[in-house]
Amino acid sequence: MARYRPPKIASSEITPQSLYLNRRSLIGAAAGGLALAAAPKAFAAAIAAKPSAYVLTEKPTSKQDVTSYNNFYEFGTDKIDPINNSGSFKTRPWTIEVGGLVAKPQVIDIEAILKDFPMEERVYRMRCVEAWSMVVPWVGFPLASLLDRVEPLGSAKYVAFETVVRPDEMPGQRGLFQPMKWPYVEGLRLDEARHPLTILATGLYGETLPNQNGAPLRLVVPWKYGFKGIKSIVRITLTENEPPASWNVMQPGEYGFYANVNPAVDHPRWSQATERRIGEESGLFGGARIDTLPFNGYADEVAGLYTGMDLTKFY
């Protein structure tokens, strides 16, 4: 695969949403430095991964930013909460149940996954629905490889995912007022799940995933908004009908099931035409923004999945 070109620099776009997010970024970056300094260990261990053809010419986002500026509501709703509140989260032992409409349902230990599936580094763009972005060197393997092992039945049309529920270890899951219903769930069409770009990530920056980034196993679908990238997966189920997806269930007018990055379809409360690259901000208002690319720059690979669909309806 050819190397991707960096997106063009766009003129500054100052909106109430961008001002809010920039303030959050500045606060989060400052807090992130303190959190990382206090954290005993941000990464568990090095992870073997072969080079991949999926690379970018764009500069990767710094390890500090990738690990300290996160949305992971199970640990809290602020960007800095995941790194601050996930220290006691246990990722061993860990199993993933894979079942539903398959010929060979299995319960697979994470250690077996690391042993059985060759890992490779994939440098992908990551675009949040909040109009900020990163470039992340993930370590993982194609989801299709795992699906092949369980042999989907002909009636399977979708793949559903579920995150662990552990209120004792995940402070965002306990208390009277919850930001959303648990467990966090997500889904893909089977052809999306089997696409070569779709991976299950076990690490980043050459090391095993930190707790705050979705350890020990998370979904990465680079042409979709980041909330599709469900973290800390414990269950994968193949179904005939479209499965529920947490943000889509909670606010269907704002977060579609497909969640494909589309600069022509705005969020009801802010524009998606441009984005703010984390770690590259400058000045009070965050400096120049960059153009958001259709399908996050992966249109050549994935646009054919949606031929004939109205992407303003199936957003």
pLDDT tens by residue, 174-215 = 999 899 999 999 999 999 999 999 999 999 999 999 999 999
With cut-offs at 50, 70 and 90, classify the pLDDT of residue 230: very high
pLDDT at 162 over 80: yes
**Rounded Cα–Cα distance for residues 137 and 122 (Å):** 6
Could you give phi then psi for residue 168, rounded to 5 degrees?
Answer: -65, -30
pLDDT at 44: 62
**Rounded Cα–Cα distance for residues 315 and 300 (Å):** 18
What is the per-residue pLDDT across 121-158, written as a single tens digit (0 to 9) for each?
999 999 999 999 999 999 999 999 999 999 999 999 99
3-state secondary structure 256-294: CCCCECCCCCCECCECCCEEEECCCCCCCCCCCCEECCH
**Residues in the chain, overall count:** 315
pLDDT at 167 over 90: yes
pLDDT at 288: 76
**Rounded Cα–Cα distance for residues 193 and 159 (Å):** 7
Q: How far is CA 207 from CA 34, 198, 213, in A?
A: 21, 19, 12
What is the per-residue pLDDT across 215-225, written as a single tens digit (0 to 9) for each?
999 999 999 99
pLDDT at 253 over 70: yes
pLDDT at 20: 32
Distance of CA 86 to the CA centre of its chain: 17
Distance of CA 73 to the CA centre of its chain: 13
pLDDT at 284 over 70: no
55-76 mean pLDDT: 96
Residue with tokens 């795992």: 146
CB half-sphere exposure, 3, CA atoms < 13 A: 7
**Rounded Cα–Cα distance for residues 201 and 122 (Å):** 9
pLDDT at 248: 98
Could you tell me what percent of the chain has a pLDDT over 70? Answer: 84
Kindly report the average pLDDT of the chain as a whole number: 88
pLDDT at 17 over 90: no
pLDDT at 69 over 70: yes
pLDDT at 21 over 50: no
236 in Cβ contact with 166 (< 8 Å): no
Could you tell me what percent of the chain has a pLDDT over 90? Answer: 81
221 in Cβ contact with 228 (< 8 Å): yes
User: Against a cut of 0.75, is the pTM above it?
Assistant: yes
With cut-offs at 50, 70 and 90, classify the pLDDT of residue 285: low
pLDDT at 273: 98
pLDDT at 31: 38
164-173 mean pLDDT: 98
Q: Which residues contact 128 (CB under 8 A, 6 or more apart)?
A: 71, 225, 226, 227
36 in Cβ contact with 67 (< 8 Å): yes
**Rounded Cα–Cα distance for residues 14 and 286 (Å):** 9
pLDDT at 249: 98
pLDDT at 281: 78
Cα-trace Rg, the chain? 19
143 in Cβ contact with 219 (< 8 Å): yes
pLDDT at 165: 98
**At CA 247, angle to CA 80 and CA 263, rounded to 5?**
85
